[in-house]
Structure 1
């Protein structure tokens, strides 16, 4: 499939076509391949106390084989679903590779999940095994139906210690996994309705090298640090599958967010590619980084939420690198990015990666590739797009549409594609505010508010209004030392009027100490709407 629906900057996009193999097992086809060089560095792990460990690909291959044998001896077979709930410790990569090596299906989970969250996942996916730390084992005490329980650390009754794997063989015949077989499940945050089990086929694990090559531009000599949590799909693309497919070493830090510490780690470990959410970058640009050597850093990328233009400028001044914003979903992973060496348009998520065919569904029901506004569509077939929502054919079918004689994946995100093919996010399909006939995307209002020096973070929603249908309301958290009063409300409103079209300004502003968020850090606008 060629990405020929929009103007290209060079021949790379036009000449690109997917060539997936018939089978793919990440453990044998990627990890074991790099492990042929016993000195090839795969992982640098450091914790908050400064303790550091390094792993070669050969060591990851060995330990994942041993864990795969332990899982097999415990009853796990190909196709079984296994929860992997570990913090940012090297056992996470080893566990993920071990489960994949067997042809079992990992379900990565963040450690902030509660027993209720885990019980739902275990029941919904028919989970047969779990790998977690001793600190998290108690969350599974009241969850039945999981016969295999592996613990990192001291194992309580009913659990098997991961340390037992050390006595097992360091080889394991990798399972043959068809390219369209289910390979991994990521659960969405469930901000509306029950969480969805986004199921990706083996073809996606193979295809996620695409963004690592064309967006991150990783090579075997690179070191990447992505700060995403282990249960996020972003960890898959920028901590595990993408970087290791390119032979790059990964920095893994298990510690709290501290701006100065971020720069210290970037400097000491000579990170060449840094990936962080916009929420982090907003804090980092306030730090004095003059005492750190960032000469090895060649690029910074961000995804998950749009990066305000103000942050792009500050980060460039601070580090000398551009922030290459990108767009992806759990269902699709990275599809649209700003790429190295390409012109950047402020506020744009960039252009489609090679192999990604896009259009928008306009209000008149057409699929238009450029100079249009509407719901973002991704052309099918595409190996990066999810196989299905686990055991949910109705929801799955709702993401597929036929337009212009072609099948598309409907993202539910509203965008504008300009005449050059650049994509601008305007909000979720259900976040658009309709006020007095004007359709207002909350992101643009949030960008304007965020550029005010008093604003730490903000979220914009539409609230019911008898006269206008909806009003724009902003919820704002302020930086330390700033008092929220009527004078500041007026100042913020005028600031927005001066920054964007005046009709978009928030007619209501409320100050809050904290915005409601999902476990993956996304703002829960539905909660804010209920607080109108």
Structure 2
């Protein structure tokens, strides 16, 4: 199939037939990804393995029963439709049944990343008014000494009456009737960083699965018989929605590996479970390329579909995979608000141009516009924008932040904040960000949160944070700091400041490089000009 044929053949009406619910009526994610497949008692949903080698196999039937029990347990805690429930765990099955149960009772799931520090966790929890947090003892220690108004359930601890997590869950019935939610009701609040202010909660609707269907179907090319491995953490949209909910929606099998990144260990997992489809970030693919090919040759890898998202994918990695795996990596572009709207399509016999984001998603109008909302000419740089359409949109605005939503809308367009060019064949090429978002190892990092953390250190007078080019991560976080008069620059102080942010925010947000300046470049109105600092780093 050619891309042009795909665009011509795609129909939203036909896509609706792939779902049990009505996207513009009664629609519930939990039924679409779990219960609809549970009638077959032998259909495997998830094969789980941790770093110690412990393994579990979960059928859709078991997933339904355990999430039903969890839904009943949550109701006994007083959780009701519309309440916000947060998860702060790695790739644990306790987390999976919890977010499915959250949707079963019509509540809203708030993903959290385990590398977050206390400030980052509390901002997200307080901003949306979380009522229950599922976590473990290690993560809970981040909240020690802090007054909290929400209930905490530990996956590895005991309840007030002395029950383990599973003893507690199994004390409830395995039958639960799913709440009749509407497709436009909130299902997920995914916090996304911006350049001004603190992270904001992007609302993803119940019908997000329908909205993103053409991405699952054509770009990732998920099929029912697939064995799918998604590398990204479940605290991020790509890991949760694309790499977990997407395959489960198709009744496919998901391999969840709960362990640190290690190339040879990944090859072992790929071989053991006969993985056919892999989705990861460019950083992970670069690390696979950097590993010796002699390691690769030890394993029989059956992957026939490679998907990448989170940051631009450089051409050398694409060529390496073509040569050594017999298949190019298909790069995808999107944002939390828009999903992946420009892609290379695994389903299509298309030319892969290493370094290109690909072509627009079927069913959506994706364009490049100038500051006034006018279309730019082919070959000129413009901001990537997608036409707003309430009937198919997955994005439901920002939680309690209508002003931020207004900033994202220009006429009929939803703005991404990213810049691109189109070549003569219509392929998009990433040109940078219209704002100051830092894209590091697949994570989108807003400089304001990092700067605010640095400013809490007593030696810091001013701070500006930008992305610096990096061959592995795409960009690293670099901080420019003006010290108080009483302090002098030193290498020890650089390490102290980096560790200070790392402990407060997360392991991916801290500055990996610090430079001390006498003063920061500013506009006449006193606004720090990050653009000048970033340009200096890119021109070195």
Matches within 5 A, 1:292-441: 292-294=299-301, 296-340=302-346, 341-362=349-370, 365-368=373-376, 370-381=378-389, 383-402=392-411, 407-430=412-435
Q: 2:94 aligns with which of 88, 91, 112?
A: 91
* Per-residue CA distance 1:372-400 (angstroms, 9 max, x = gap): 42001101115344111110010011111
Which residue number in structure 2 is paired with residue 290 of structure 1?
A: 297
Which residue number in structure 1 is paired with residue 258 of structure 2?
A: 254
SS at match of 1:169: coil
Counterparts of 2:162 and 2:377, CA distance in 1: 53
Q: Mind listing any 5+ residue stretches in structure 2 that lack a counterpart?
A: 17-22, 438-468, 481-497, 516-529
Is the counterpart of residue 119 in structure 1 residue 122 in structure 2?
yes
Q: 1:169 aligns with which of 159, 173, 186?
A: 173
Counterparts of 1:410 and 1:190, CA distance in 2: 13
Which residue number in structure 2 is paired with residue 67 of structure 1?
A: 70
User: Quick check: 1:359–1:370 contact (8 Å CA) kept in 2?
Assistant: no
Alignment root-mean-square deviation, CA: 3.0
Deviation at 1:126, TM superposition (A): 1.1
TM norm structure 2: 0.77
Is the counterpart of residue 34 in structure 1 residue 37 in structure 2?
yes
Counterparts of 1:97 and 1:351, CA distance in 2: 33
Deviation at 1:363, TM superposition (A): 5.4
Counterparts of 2:241 and 2:47, CA distance in 1: 17
* Per-residue CA distance 1:23-68 (angstroms, 9 max, x = gap): 2111123311111101111001111111111100111100000011
User: Quick check: 2:364–2:387 contact (8 Å CA) kept in 1?
Assistant: yes
TM norm structure 1: 0.78
Q: 1:211 aligns with which of 212, 215, 231?
A: 215
Name the structure, 1 or 2, with higher relative contact order (CA <8 Å, separation 6+): 2
Moved more, 281-290 or 408-417: 281-290
* Per-residue CA distance 1:282-309 (angstroms, 9 max, x = gap): 1101222111101x21011100011110
Which residue number in structure 2 is paired with residue 276 of structure 1?
A: 280
Counterparts of 1:422 and 1:250, CA distance in 2: 31
Counterparts of 1:523 and 1:215, CA distance in 2: 33
Counterparts of 1:31 and 1:268, CA distance in 2: 24
Q: 1:55 aligns with which of 52, 58, 67?
A: 58
Matches within 5 A, 1:489-504: none
Counterparts of 2:244 and 2:472, CA distance in 1: 31
* Per-residue CA distance 1:168-215 (angstroms, 9 max, x = gap): 100111111111111110112456420111111112133233322111
Matches within 5 A, 1:170-209: 170-189=174-193, 192-209=196-213
Which residue number in structure 1 is paired with residue 524 of structure 2?
A: none
Q: Mind listing any 5+ residue stretches in structure 1 that lack a counterpart?
A: 1-6, 433-448, 465-512
User: Quick check: 2:306–2:328 contact (8 Å CA) kept in 1?
Assistant: yes
Which residue number in structure 2 is paired with residue 17 of structure 1?
A: 12
Counterparts of 1:14 and 1:115, CA distance in 2: 49
Deviation at 1:91, TM superposition (A): 1.7
> CA separation of 1:9/1:281 partners in 2, compared to 1, >3 Å: closer, same or farther?
same
- Aligned positions, number: 452
Counterparts of 1:157 and 1:191, CA distance in 2: 42
User: Quick check: 2:233–2:240 contact (8 Å CA) kept in 1?
Assistant: no
Which residue number in structure 2 is paired with residue 471 of structure 1?
A: none
SS at match of 1:193: coil
Counterparts of 2:134 and 2:66, CA distance in 1: 14
Deviation at 1:141, TM superposition (A): 4.2
Moved more, 136-145 or 202-211: 136-145
Moved more, 181-190 or 120-129: 181-190
SS at match of 1:136: helix
